[in-house]
Chain A
Amino acid sequence: MGLFEQLKKGLAKTKNGFIDKVTELVTGYKKLEPEFYDDLEAVLIQADVGVHTAMDLVEKIRCKAEKDKLETPDKVKELLKEEIAKILGEDTVPLNIPSESPAVYLVVGVNGVGKTTTIGKLAYKLKLEGKKILLVAGDTFRAAAIDQLEIWANRVGVEMLKHQEGSDPAAVAYDGIQAAKARCTDVVIIDTAGRLHNKSNLMEEIKKVRRVIERELPGAPHEVLLVLDATTGQNAIAQANLFKEATGVTSIAITKLDGTAKGGVIIGICSQLDIPVKFIGIGEKIDDLKEFEPHDFVEALFA
């Protein structure tokens, strides 16, 4: 199965729940009337695009349609595709790879979004590129989180560094970087415990982890990857903002896109945040973490 086919399959639900609804509207209405726009807005909102982004999108389409003197909704789908493509941007933003290794990637996010799984998949991806990888078990809080990462490390066949449960995550990060320097590792991926972004004490903890990394390796972390769950609604924006404030998030991975009919959240995220989406998770298999390619994404969605 080609990459594009895989993407198409992973996004099938979003397509059904979102784009196909637009198609229904377009064929259902004979004329461009106010009700059509209301219904379009409803479809967008129901796809988790977010109220404001949905209103913006509809407004833009309405303007365009008036300008072009459209009378029937046939072209609306195309307009929508254009606008969504504009929001998502053109280019794929690659992972930041420093000239001198190791590259340090810190992975953060709220509970249960799939941080550990994403790390496993990311490690697999980077290993295929021939990189030497070290995983660091920085989630010392949740029961068995370390074991979970260890299973991934074994599965992928990369090294892992761990402390005991309950130890200081900053200390684990410190050791991770020292070990990476000593072992000439290319990439260090640091797992962290899931935390709700409004818990100030936990956010302080992760700030400390970042400070320790900065101190031990100037220029690091080279990426702070925020993992967001695609089934999350508008709270995703709040998560991104607060994590950015605390840890300087540089990129986003959106997981579980295959499981939701509401992949629209990715559009809301791209329109309201200036953090690039670099990865999307579209399945449970080890190679189901894909680089986010906006162009392909839109094509797959509207295919």
Chain B
Amino acid sequence: MAVFSSLADKLQETFKKLRGKGKLSENDVNEAMREVRVALLEADVNFKVVKDFISRVKERAVGVEVMESLTPAQQVIKIVNEELTNLMGGVQSKINFSSRPPTIIMLVGLQGAGKTTTCGKLANLLRKQGKRPLLVAGDIYRPAAIKQLQVLGQQLNIPVFSMGNQKSPVDIVQASVEHAKNFGNDTIIVDTAGRLHINEELMGELISIKDRVKPHEILLVVDAMTGQDVVNVAESFHSKLGIDGLVLTKLDGDTRGGAALSVKAVTGCPIKFAGMGEKLDALEPFYPERMASRILGMGDILTFIEKAQANLDAEKAREMEKKLRQQQFTLEDFLDQLQQMKSMGPLEDILGMIPGLGANKHLKNFKVDEKELAHTEAIIRSMTPEERRNPNMINGSRKRRIAKGSGVSVQHVNRLLKQFSEAQKMMKHLGGLKKHSKKGKKAGFKFPFF
């Protein structure tokens, strides 16, 4: 679940040793850096990038910049965090939209990086932002690539422009621009065939497309699992074609994601999006500073909050808060909550974003059973509105009816009722808990940069 988890583990292990110490000698820093170096190399970070990174951190860690408020170990973590953020490109960068639509976005990359899928996801994301995208099937070589894009378009209900696989991609893209103008599409997303960066002929084709239609944004799609070679690929595409940014795919795997660290450092191209899952809404803007926090095992609370904001109804949330305060939380509200949680995406992903949980050993293998949630939902739905509001009235015969109605056993129903009453109890303490957790946070996380 947690992106970069292995790297985070390694760094945390290293820093645990540092944390125990009051003062940090040059030797300590060197030892820590050796482990950081191996961890980064194992994470497939480019060799040269690692070398620079280590020397930069070392230089900063030994000697200067020791602040009074921090222990030296925290100081090192702070520096590593800052340098990691720098390495990945500082602040987030966005898509360049043309002031005179249509904006043309072209996706390029090696075979199997995930271009076609990313096209679909990107179209979906841009439509959510109010654009009217048109997908263009420019991969005329791979068997069924056009069909794949068409199926995606159908699933998303986004138009796909195709001229079959007999016309040249240059002509297809040119024609698609006219088509977009006629049909009022303000954004064109061009899928292209996967190609090796050393294939002169196919690279030439991309260059002709570029010359012909002048795309506003050329995005290189890169598999996050790529090894040391990613730098050559990115450099080569960049020098021949001039890339505006990168999309990192398959980041939901357990890859340590060295590619993300290397690419920006070596090419200067920012990573604009990250593919985080198989579903068509699993494309997120790439936030370098958040990713650095993730690497350090500090969780990604910002993404979590944003997801919550996008999916949770603010009105409902206020209502919920009121109910919580007045301790009127019922099974009906519980059901509401369940549904809102579900709309935020797989629970595992959400848990991984919460600081502290990402590094929690017990939670590491914890898999949320989505089926269990479906059962819970069914049970609640089998209750009468009155029962939902007042679970205490549910007696044996009612339980049997509910169990039958939802297709589970009576024990299941009992378990849910017990869980709910416990949740209610917890809610009562929530006010106190909030204060408590604030204190806890202060004690646990002394990092001023967090």
Residues of A within 8 A of B (CB): 13, 17, 42, 45-48, 50-52, 110-114, 141-145, 147-148, 150-152, 155, 165, 196-200, 229, 231-236, 238, 256, 258-262, 265
Contact = CB atoms under 8 A, between A and B. Distances in A.
Contacts of A142: 117, 148
- Residue from A113, A198, A233 whose CB has the most chain B CB atoms within 10 Å: A233
Given A143-B148, A147-B144, A46 B111 contact: no
Nearest to A48: B227
Contacts of B223: 112, 229, 231-232
Contacts of B42: 50-52, 234
B93 interface: no
B227 A231 contact: yes
Interface stretch (B74-82, B246-254, B393-401): B246-254
A234 B257 CA distance: 10
Nearest to B155: A143
Leading 10 A-B pairs by shortest Cβ distance: A233-B227, A112-B112, A233-B44, A143-B151, A144-B148, A151-B143, A147-B144, A148-B144, A144-B147, A48-B227
Contact of B254 (A51, A148, A151, A197): A197
B143 to A, nearest CB: 4
B203 to A, nearest CB: 13
A137 to B, nearest CB: 11
Given A13-B198, A112-B112, A112-B113, A196 B228 contact: no
Given A48-B227, A48-B228, A256-B112, 8 more contacts: A45-B228, A112-B250, A141-B278, A143-B151, A147-B143, A147-B144, A148-B145, A198-B252
A148 B229 CA distance: 28
B442 to A, nearest CB: 34
Interface residue tally of chain B, by bracket? Answer: 35 or more
B254 to A, nearest CB: 4
Interface in B143-191: 143-145, 147-152, 155
Nearest to B255: A235
Given A47-B228, A235-B225, A111 B367 contact: no
Interface of B: 1, 38, 41-44, 46-47, 110-114, 116-117, 142-145, 147-152, 155, 196, 198, 223, 225-230, 232-233, 250, 252-256, 258-259, 278, 367
B38 A235 contact: no
B420 to A, nearest CB: 27
A100 B226 CA distance: 40
Contacts of A265: 227
A234 B256 contact: yes
A110 B113 contact: no
B151 A45 contact: no
A292 B228 CA distance: 23
Contacts of B149: 143
A285 to B, nearest CB: 13
B227 A262 contact: yes
Nearest to A54: B41
Given A231-B223, A262-B228, A110 B367 contact: no
A236 B196 CA distance: 20
Contact of A46 (B147, B152, B228, B253): B228
